[in-house]
Amino acid sequence: MTVHNFSAGPSILPKEAIEESIEGLRNFKNTGLSVVEISHRSPQWEETMVEMENLICELYGVPSDYAVIFLGGGASMQFTQIPQNLLPEGGMAAYLKTGTWASNATKEAKFWGKVHVVASSEDKNFNYIPKGYEIPSDAAYFHITTNNTIFGTEMHHIPDSPVPIIADMSSDVFSRPIDIQKYGLIYAGAQKNMGPAGVTLLIIKKDWLGKTGRNIPTMLDYRTHIDKESMYNTPPVFPIYLSYLTLKWLNKQGGVSGIQKLNQQKAALLYNEIDRNPLFAGTTAVEDRSLMNVTFIANNKEAEDRFDKFSEERGCNGLKGHRSVGGFRASLYNALPLSSVEYLVSVMQEFEKTF
């Protein structure tokens, strides 16, 4: 039986990238060594790091005044590392609270300075994106989470801001084009839409650094990793390598513009079935529905329990919703083929006939 992977993360990856990574584990670039045992100072690995950075710059149109770096610790590490590096002593940062990870980022920033929450959707269990808020012009930065994996909402419009925008793009990175110059920094844990867990991507405007007035430990200072080209210490080589292979695959799909069209097609197909099928209902405001994480519920507990088992028996993996929302969550990340969404829709229609 074919397994269709709708897991929210670690996420589905392109089979092509996985197969190539297996070969790299056996024999990396004809060195006779595995990618996980070759020196990170070897010409073969340094070449891969340069290729990875160039590929990211190509996909997102990154100009030369931005740096691309790869860090450990996951995106959650950035909740504290960002204000440590970018929130001046005595300063204030603005945050938009749209879900669990945005809330965690807000909490961590308070260790480093004042935090102003410009708006929150917590009043309705984060099932919408707030609008009509004002971004204070005296903030050091404005932090947003562009896609909310747990609650199934996505920011389809990035507001104009009087201060630099910092965006957590962990679950929708490389899923659509962005204007990188609207942001002072974007960051993303790899395991949602770029690669395996173990590496976090940052793209940051270089002239923004070194202005907080505080001393920052060497390993936590972004400038350290920029200066040493992400190799101040041994980088997480395999997560970077598989992420590189995934982005190579993405480039062959037409880049972020090409994959955006496919992502829109996948999401429309599933949302149309959710809206049509009397056994299911969406959980988020229609205008804020995520293209990456589709959240929905069954119309009663019996239907929910039965569909959970029904879909799993038919090879639909990872559909159970997060405990904060319940119901179901189908993650439609870049590597998920349209055929898997078509199959899920057919399973939902089959369930409707048997219920």
pLDDT in tens, 255-313: 999 999 999 999 999 999 999 999 999 999 999 999 999 999 999 999 999 999 999 99
Q: What is the mean pLDDT of residues 145-171?
A: 97
Q: Binning pLDDT at 50, 70 and 90, where does residue 160 land?
A: very high
Q: Where are the beta strands (DSSP E) in the chain?
A: 4-5, 66-71, 92-97, 114-120, 142-145, 147-148, 153-154, 165-168, 183-189, 200-205, 280-282, 293-298, 316-317, 328-331
- Mean pLDDT for the chain overall: 97
- Rounded Cα distance between 84 and 108, Å, is 10
226 near 69, Cβ under 8 Å?
yes
Q: What is the mean pLDDT of residues 328-339?
A: 98
Give me the domain span that covers residue 49.
15-252
C-alpha to C-alpha distances, 44 to 25, 33, 38, 48, 229, nearest whole angstrom = 14, 11, 9, 6, 15
137 near 94, Cβ under 8 Å?
no
Determine, yes or no, domain membership for 6: no
- pLDDT (0 to 100) of residue 87: 98
Residues 238 and 309 in one domain: no
Residues 218 and 192 in one domain: yes
Residues 159 and 262 in one domain: no
- Rounded Cα distance between 142 and 140, Å, is 7
Determine, yes or no, domain membership for 133: yes
Residues 240 and 322 in one domain: no
Task: Report the chain's C-alpha Rg in angstroms.
Answer: 21
- pLDDT (0 to 100) of residue 324: 82
Q: What is the mean pLDDT of residues 30-46?
A: 96
Residues 175 and 54 in one domain: yes
Determine, yes or no, domain membership for 7: no
- pLDDT (0 to 100) of residue 353: 95
Orientation angle between helical segments 338-354 and 255-276, nearest 10 degrees: 0
pLDDT score of 355 more than 90 = no
Question: Domain ends where: 252, 287, 314?
Answer: 252
Q: Which of the 8 DSSP states describes residue 9? A: S
**In which residue are the tokens 């896609």 written?**
147
Q: What is the mean pLDDT of residues 154-171?
A: 98
Annotated active-site residue in 45, 112, 172, 192 = 192
Annotated active-site residue in 45, 101, 208, 249 = 101
Residues 209 and 65 in one domain: yes
Give residue-wise pLDDT tens across range 86-142: 999 999 999 999 999 999 999 999 999 999 999 999 999 999 999 999 999 999 999
97 assigned to active site:
no
Residues 65 and 204 in one domain: yes
Residues 214 and 265 in one domain: no
192 assigned to active site:
yes
101 assigned to active site:
yes
SS3 content of the chain, % helix, strand, coil (to 5): 40, 20, 40
Domains contained in the chain, number: 2
Annotated active-site residue in 97, 112, 168, 249 = 168
CATH of the domain at 306: 3.90.1150.10
The pTM of the whole model exceeds 0.85 = yes
Residues 132 and 194 in one domain: yes
Residues 313 and 221 in one domain: no
Residues 175 and 304 in one domain: no
